[in-house]
Chain A
Amino acid sequence: MIIDTMTILTSKSSETFLKTKSEIIFLIGSILTSLGILLVTVGGSWDITNHLLSKPETFFSPPHALMYFGVTVTLIGVVLSFVGWKNLQKFKNSYFLSLKIKLIGIGLLTGAGPFDFIWHSYFGLDGLLSPPHFTLITGMFLCSVGGMIGISRYLKFHNSKSISKYLLILAVIPVWLSASGIISSLSLPFSSTDFFQFNPEPTFAFIVASLAYPFLISLSLFLIFRLSHYQFGLMSILGGLFLLIYSTTAIIPNFAMFDTVQFYSLNLIPFVIADVFLKLNRSKLSLFFTGGLIGSVFYMVYYPYVMYTYNEILLGKLVSPSLIYFVYFELIQTVLLYTLIPSIIMGILAVVISAKLTKKILIN
């Protein structure tokens, strides 16, 4: 009898706990979802570099460990989001979109594992673009979007102070990185295997890279700018973090490119300048100028691998790891000649789209 009463009390108190803390649980779920995807994308970028360098690789390589740890963290995040959402007393409808996207994303993400295993069993090693890899990247992208919406809405509903807005960096960076993964798989010539030739057609790849990368950089930076209610500094930190992740996973592991880190770190300048301009003036002209500026530097920001896409159509050279930066710098002026105007236009277009997306994210 006493045990029964205690069981009822315990279950009632845990129910009360869940109900009172449900929104916080949902927020923690969203944070973990975004953090998990961040880990997966960092591991993925590191893994691509290891493949290019042909480092001896077993299943238990550090990048793989990081990626699987990231998937686990994401899974925990989605489960917590679901538990939090189920017990929500208010804003249940407002958080549903975030949960729905996360659930679809985690379904694809976890389903991609066995799909990849079956694919490997039948067709051996696959390249960057393959049906299981595309399923995985799409799942990552959806989870990160779900996490971003969850975090942004929580901050909006609670009129969070400026310090909490730094959480938006964690919300937006996985979206930027996973969307970069989608663009890379549709434009980099890393997908040819013995069984399948999934390398994108060079002209198509050229167009995709020239339009999608500038759009994405500008969209990511303007999303954080608008979601944070124009908080100064967030664009610079987000841009700086992106550069830090790319330099540590794609440049530093290749000893032949180590010296080019100084070139790459200069790319922080346009991000900081954009931040300063928008602090001083948020007129349409200023917004479009910064959007165009950010879009125009995509070839520098996506150093070094973006070079492979342009090499296919402009030079056709064999690029071994120690030649990457030679070919990259050989191409830089030609690529900018072809892509400067479209990249500026895409950067400006992203400014417009970011306004509409921010409204959709924050107003339900």
Chain B
Amino acid sequence: MKLVSFFNSEFLSINVKKFLIYLSAFVILSLYFILTIFILPSEFLMTEQLVPEPSFTAILSETNIALGDSFRLDIVSVNNGDYADIHIVSVAFPDLTRIDDIVKIATYDFTLSPSYIYVDDEIGSKYSGGVETTLAQYPSIEAMSRPLKSDVPTHFDLVVTPQELGLFHIYVKSIGIPHTSDLSHYPYSGILDHQNEYVSVYSVIVNP
């Protein structure tokens, strides 16, 4: 009789133990799912996103040249904001249909090789980083650093030899990615280019 009661109590105690283990496991699992699906995602989504703030200064060596002569465009760009995954400086030539020997790179210290964009190439627009696209109407050169920390200057100098008389225009802009704010591109306003993005315009008069 005693033996039976002993086994019964042990059996009971094992079952209670098992029940408690199952119960704790279900509680922990529920906590896991609540934390990973609801609580932590909303916590992380509330953290502030990085805001890169690119800017540049561009200096023309001449604003009046004779046909056949060259001028320099020296660009120093910097990221004044948070760490940028990608820092881009784009220089476009709205009066040209091809770059050929007209534009040569003199100085370049971005981390990636320059990328040449030709007329009719598919390019990103509206600061979407390629999610929205359009076709290039004129050629351009993109300089890129991946990544770029704050306050590190980068240099992109060009030598241009126009082949036609009149005004020669150059569009310059800089974009930081992630593009999380209106401060993530420079300039902030002005003329819109073929990508529907703001550019600073530099002009040189080419005389006979």
Contacts and interface: CB of A to CB of B under 8 A. Distances in A.
Interface string A320-339: 11110110011011001000
30 contacts: A53-B146, A54-B111, A54-B147, A56-B111, A260-B44, A263-B44, A266-B40, A269-B28, A273-B29, A277-B22, A277-B25, A280-B18, A280-B22, A293-B29, A300-B36, A316-B131, A317-B131, A318-B128, A318-B131, A318-B179, A320-B178, A322-B83, A322-B178, A323-B85, A329-B42, A332-B37, A332-B41, A333-B37, A333-B38, A333-B41
A276 interface: yes
Interface residues of A, number: 32
Interface of A: 53-54, 56, 256, 259-260, 262-263, 266-267, 269-270, 273, 276-277, 280, 293, 300, 316-318, 320-323, 325-326, 329-330, 332-333, 336
B177 interface: yes
Contacts of B177: 318, 320
B165 to A, nearest CB: 37
Contacts of A273: 25, 28-29
Given A270-B32, A318-B179, 18 more contacts: A54-B86, A56-B111, A256-B50, A266-B36, A266-B40, A267-B36, A269-B29, A280-B21, A321-B85, A323-B178, A325-B44, A329-B40, A329-B44, A329-B45, A330-B45, A332-B36, A332-B41, A333-B41
B49 interface: yes
A313 to B, nearest CB: 14
Contacts of B47: 259
Contacts of A320: 85-86, 129, 177-178
Residue among A276, A316, A325, A329 with most chain B CB within 10 A = A329
Q: Looking at chain B, what size class is its interface with the partner chain?
A: 20 to 34
A277 B18 CA distance: 10
B106 interface: no
